[in-house]
Every structure is written in C-alpha cells, then in structure tokens.
Amino acid sequence: MTALSKTLLIWTDPDSGEALSLQFDAISSETKDDSVDITDHPVEAGSNVADNARDVPALLSIEAIVSGVPSLMLDADVSFVSQTITVDGVKPPGTQQVPLDIPAVPVQLSESGLIQAGIGALKGLFTGGPKATLTTTTRFESKASAVYQLEQGSPRNRGRDVYEMLLLLKSQHVQLDLIQTAFRDYPDMMIARLSQPRAVGDGTTAKFQIDFKQIRIAISQSVAAPKPSVVRANAPVAKGAEHPKPDANADDHRQSIIEHGWTYFSGLVPG
C-alpha cells in the first residue's frame, strides 16, 4: 500500500462552475483496462472475416482508502499543535554501592606494623575504602515531555464526506475533467460503479471500490441542405396505354339534351 495516493480526481461543479478535486489517503489496488473491438463475420467456407476494428472506451478500477485521522497533506484546516504532557513513571529496583566507615586498627610500632599501615593507606587511596552493595527500593517519578498533535479546525467524519461526494458525482453523471494516476492521465471519465465494503476491524477507515469509464459525446446539429449547382428535372415516366376517364357530368349533359328536345317538339305540335 502506498503511503499517499497518487490518484487525483478533477472536475467542474455543474452548479457553480468551480474547479474541484479529490485525493484519497491511499490506493490499495489500481487496474487499467484498454481493449479493441474487432468485428467478426462468419462466411460459408474458410475463416471468419475480420474487416474492422475500433477502440473500446478506457476503463479504470481503483480501491481507495480514506482514513478517519486528519491528514496534514490532504486537509486544508489541519495544523500541528504543540502540547506538554506529564507522564508518571516507575523506576525499577536497582543496586547501589555505599562506602563503609570502619574504624582503623591501631598501628603497631614495629617494622611489619608500619608496612601494613602503609599498604592499607595506599589501598584505600586507590579503591576508596571498603564498600557495601545495597538493593534500592522502587520509586515513582514524573517526566514532562513536549509533543505535537494534529488539530483540525472543524472536526468531521472524513470517510462520510468523501462517500457523499462520490455519490453526488455518480448520481449527477458528472463528467470528470481529468483523473491523474502515477502512470497515466485519463480525460472525460465518469463513475460507472461505486461500492463501499466494510468489515470488522476497519474502524473509522473507509474503503471504496470505484469503476470509471471513458465517455465519448457526439453532438448532432441540423443544417440547411446545400442547393445543387445543376437543376435536374424529373424524367418522364412511361405509364403505358390509359383508358379515358369517365366524365362526372355526362349524366347531367344527357338530361339537358332531352329537355331541350322535348321543348322543341312541344312547340311544333299545335295545342
């Protein structure tokens, strides 16, 4: 596990237009997936025909870790604060040598007595005289030390804050401007899957499994069709022999002729 995550998410807030970023405490795993889709058409005889290839959008999967402890490098409102603490300690039992005050033996006024007295004086000068070894008792002692601790301006749940931010990016379908990793930068990525597993022993540490997919947006626009440089007339279409269409006013015309004839002959016959 790396000490500090090299994966950085950068995007533009859809509401305010502000540039935002997110960096995790650590990345435990990172998988990059790039593939090509090659078309495959079966034929009646022989091998299949592969006549086209296209790049599949890039995929990136990470397992990110966010600690519950404030980070001096990731949190802007965190600083070092010096404090003095006093620790009560126990001194283990030990040994100590104590000099003994033994009365000197009277010097005999003889040659051997003077020699023994001289030897004893020289021995006491170099060794410090007779000593006794004592066992010391257990003692308690206090020790003051200066320590530095991280202090956050506004204490909060870092894991929950990051989780809510990732959920917002997913639900709003935010297109990330850039994902920076240690070996490659990914533009135009979107969260395709977000998972937050939790196990016994995690404590306040939050783990996130995130799948990103590169998106490609095509924009269509309606435009006026260009006028042709040469106007082409429609060619006549041969329809073959056609029968004359019946006249819708033929019955009225015959009725009018009969009426005129009757009027004429009625005038010739005397009443």
> 180, 187, 202: which is closest to 62 by C-alpha?
180
Tokens matching residue 174: 């935010």
Beta strands in 78-124 (DSSP E): 78-91, 95-99
Does pTM top 0.75 for this prediction? no
Alpha-carbon gap, residue 210 to 61, rounded angstroms: 6
Tokens matching residue 265: 């002959």
E strand or H helix that includes residue 55: strand 53-55
Q: What is the Cα gyration radius of the chain?
A: 53
Residue-level pLDDT, tens digit, the chain, 271 residues = 444 457 899 999 988 889 999 889 889 999 999 999 888 777 777 777 777 888 899 999 999 998 887 766 666 666 667 777 777 666 666 666 666 555 555 655 666 655 666 666 666 556 666 666 666 666 666 777 777 776 766 777 888 889 999 999 999 999 999 999 988 999 999 999 999 998 888 888 899 999 999 998 777 888 888 777 776 666 666 666 666 666 656 556 566 666 666 666 566 555 5
> Mind listing the domains of the chain with CATH numbers?
1-36+55-68+157-217 (2.40.30), 93-137 (no CATH)
Name 116's Cβ contacts closer than 8 Å, sequence gap at least 6: 108
